[in-house]
Amino acid sequence: MTEPLAADFPPVPDDEWRAAALKAAKAPEDTPTRSLTEDGIEVDWLYTREDALASDPGGVPGRAPFVRGTNAGTGEDEAAWQIRQQQSHPDRRAANKALMEDLEGGATAIELRPDRAARGGHAPGSDAFAATRGVDGTMLSTVDDLETVLEGVFVELAPIAVDGGAQAVATGAQLLALLRRRGVADADAIGSLRIDPLGTLAAEGALAQDPADAIATAGRVAAQVADAFPNVRALAVDTRAYVNAGATPVRELALAITTGVAYLRAAEEAGLEPARAATQIEFTLTVGTNQFGEIAKLRAFRRLWARVLELSGVPEEGRRSFLGARTSDRMLAGIDPWSNMLRATTAGFAAAVGGAEGLTVTPFDTVVADAVGAAAPGGLGRRIARNTQLVLQEESALRRVADPAGGSWYVESLTDAMAREAWTRITEIESAGGALSVLTGGTVATDLAEQADRRRGELARRDREMTGVNVFPLLADDGVHPEPADRASFVRTENDRLAERAAVELPDAPAPEALLRTLVDAAEAGARVDELATLAGWGPVDDLDATGLPTRRDAEPFELLRAAAAGAPAGSAADADAVTSGDEGSPGDDDLATVDGVDGDAARPGAVTDDGPRVFLATLGPLAAHAAQATWAQNFFGVGGLATIQSDPIEDPSTAGELLRADGAVLAAVAGGRKAEDDALRTAIASLRDAGAKTVYLVGGNDEKAQELGADRGVKQGVDLLEILGDALAVLDRPVTTRTETAR
């Protein structure tokens, strides 16, 4: 009998583990070793064998309820997830070149995002077309355009998904028409039409049809796709808009499941039984940096969906749908965008361990590209996004293991708790009328706004840390400077090109049961997206000004601080290269994001120099006494784009003012270490005040202590960075400008 690996080591009592955990957390001995997640779920700091679930709800890999994944772990290829990269470059030839690079570089699936003109169904020559052509996607109007983008792609091997938004039925028909043109038999066609009316409504705020009618249409098309193209998925449930607006993991699960239920019902109403309808839906959950929470979320999703399908009468082997993941937009930063690679790696790891069957990693430079109106993220960003997944698959060998987190007492317990909490919310949403009712009634928006505000407060206090944003800020030029795109030329060229197109004779309006066949035939003949929308009977999206749920990126408030520090006119040499986040959607030619009058490529993070906006830091006593506080202060003020000019160790506190005069700063701080005498601090503060400091900060103290010693504010761990740094910039006549958030 083989001895256990730990046989030679004495067991460590639980109380010693807990003591070690408290010591690592620098917490008092009587601190409870239990925390709450953002959904209010209690989690222990330590888990033992006694925490194992008495009745394992996870089953085994490859079998219902599929908590442990959909593969049985019998071969490494079986466990490999799709590396699905999104392509949205406006120029078709450039998009083709980029996606071929993606495929040659390791991507195994492609997601195309048509521009807003196509997603809205706007006709060439219209004002709406001019306002949206080449914006936030590839310029796709006809199947010929799709042919150009997919030239050289083996569509029978690499699944193509088209994210057509409000016109997903029309753009999906064009994809099916292309497959037929390529000689792919209907029974062999693969791909995804990504018809997701509720997700589109959440993201963009408007549909081409009444929402209830759009859901019914989605169900009818799913039934027709299942009959004619059995290996193509018609429906999608994408939680991106909800997470961008503030959804927590449990809320995301509840909205995903109830949206899926709405589509199941619509498909069943159209005559498609639930077992086949489940194969027509692909889910895309958003993954962020809470590694264990995201792993548990994906596992909990499969358990929840299997339960829904069980209640729908689906046999055990069919109680699943394709589950993909996309790295979070919310966690992307436009300042020090290189740090986005760290977050994407953590999120990608969580998706892989959680059993995602497909993963899209957003390029690290996406926010920067959007902010300056660039055509798309750069080649390096796309390559790193692909390689992140390749390293996880090949070098980390995650594709060779079924359910890597299985057996972890913590992950199993969290999976179970998430599933139970989400089920409670699911029943509440269903009782309130379902996903459509809570979305259009404003319940979702109100709830998510509250969650986003809470998260913003945690970031402001550093209860939640974000590298490069609210901790460890980079004040130097980050070196990421994409070129803006000339969208006006896109519009002119496209209007001329499409005006020269030969007329296409459209058939009569189809009967509901012939909708898909009629649209595919018309698309194959060359009909534009707007013509297909009219043929289908719903036409373009009317409300161009509609906005969906707001995108609340974590870094945005801090980017606005940096914009104010670098872009306002008063008193220093930091005018070049201001920073802004821009809208999540790419702006139009005349709609580039602005901050204090700085627009276009100037609205980017740049180097903050010592002669720019700054804080003079008077350090008292020997280096050993104040070094920790000085380092902390440098990072604290750097979050707001303020350089910290640190003095040499000051022996005589009364000389601090002389040093301030020599520097010329109007903001000053004092750091003396934890053992500094009050008299020394008071003297230094008075000296700085006499020398012209408009605001004086006491490092390591609270406001009460600071004011007792003559300073204005105390700065220490736990204070509100956004408030204090915003006030500091206002003193420098660099007020922070807010903007109206819009959703992609």
The mean pLDDT of 65-87, rounded to a whole number, is 81
Residue whose pair of structure tokens reads 């409504």 in the numeric block: 201
Count Cα atoms within 13 angstroms, Cβ side, for 417. Answer: 21
CA distance 455 to 558: 13
Compute the distance between CA of residue 218 and CA of residue 196 in angstroms, rounded to an integer. 8
How would residue 581 be classed by pLDDT, with cut points 50, 70 and 90?
Answer: very low
pLDDT value at residue 610: 47
Give me the percent of the chain exceeding a pLDDT of 70: 91
Q: What is the pLDDT confidence band of residue 434, given thresholds at 50, 70 and 90?
A: very high
Residue 285 has pLDDT above 60, yes or no: yes
Tell whether the model's pLDDT for residue 591 goes beyond 70.
no
Lowest mean pLDDT among 69-73, 367-371, 389-393: 69-73
Confidence of residue 493 (pLDDT cuts 50, 70, 90): confident
Q: What is the mean pLDDT of residues 24-39?
A: 91
Domains of the chain as residue ranges with CATH: 82-460 (3.20.20.240), 614-731 (3.40.50.280)
CA 726 to chain centroid, in Å, comes to: 26
- Of residues 485 and 246, more confidence is placed in 246
Contact 473, 633 (CB under 8 A): no
Does the pLDDT value for residue 299 go beyond 90? yes
**Does residue 575 surpass a pLDDT of 50?**
no
pLDDT at 568: 41
Among 367, 486, 436, smallest CA distance to 212 is for 436
Give the confidence band of 2 by pLDDT, cuts at 50, 70, 90.
Answer: low
Q: Quick check: bond before 337 cis, omega within 30?
A: no
Cβ atoms < 10 Å from Cβ of 625: 18
State pLDDT tens for residues 521-549: 999 999 999 999 999 999 999 988 889 99
What token pair was written down for 638?
A: 């750097």
Residues 675-683 have a mean pLDDT of 95
* Least confidently predicted of 10-24, 335-349, 608-622: 608-622
Tokens, residue 650:
């000051």
Residue 595 has a pLDDT of 28
Question: Has residue 577 got a pLDDT over 70?
Answer: no
**258: its two tokens:** 């109830």
Give φ, ψ of 354 to 5 degrees. -75, -10
Q: What is the pLDDT of residues 211-236, one digit of tens each?
A: 999 999 999 999 999 999 999 999 99
pLDDT band with cut points at 50, 70 and 90 for residue 585:
very low
Q: Is the pLDDT of residue 502 over 80?
A: no
> pLDDT digits over 240-254, tens only?
999 999 999 999 999
Average pLDDT over residues 409-417: 96
Q: Which amino acid is at 319?
A: R
Q: Is 727 helix (H, G, I), strand (E, B) or coil?
A: helix
What is the predicted pLDDT for the residue at 500? 73
DSSP for residue 49: G
Burial class (CB in 10 A: 0-12, 13-18, 19+), 303: buried
Nearest residue to 253 (alpha-carbon basis) of 275, 283, 280 = 283
> Under DSSP, is residue 670 helix (H, G, I), strand (E, B) or coil?
strand
Residue 274 clears pLDDT 60, i.e. is over it: yes
- pLDDT band at 589; cut points 50, 70, 90: very low
* Cα–Cα distance, 180 to 67 (Å, whole number): 37
Predicted local confidence at residue 314, as pLDDT: 98
Q: How far apart are CA 492 and CA 443, in angstroms?
A: 42
pLDDT score recorded for residue 1? 52
pLDDT digits (tens, 9 = 90+) for 132-144: 999 999 999 999 9
Mean pLDDT over the full length of the chain: 90
pLDDT (average), residues 10-29:
89
Instruction: Count other C-beta atoms under 10 Å from residue 721's C-beta.
Output: 21
Helix (H) or strand (E) holding 141: none
* Numbers of helices and strands, H then E, in the chain: 27, 15
- Alpha carbons 302 and 288: distance in angstroms, whole number: 18
Per this entry, what is the length of the chain? 744
Lowest-pLDDT range of 105-109, 461-465, 595-599, 650-654: 595-599
Residue 128 pLDDT > 80, yes or no? yes
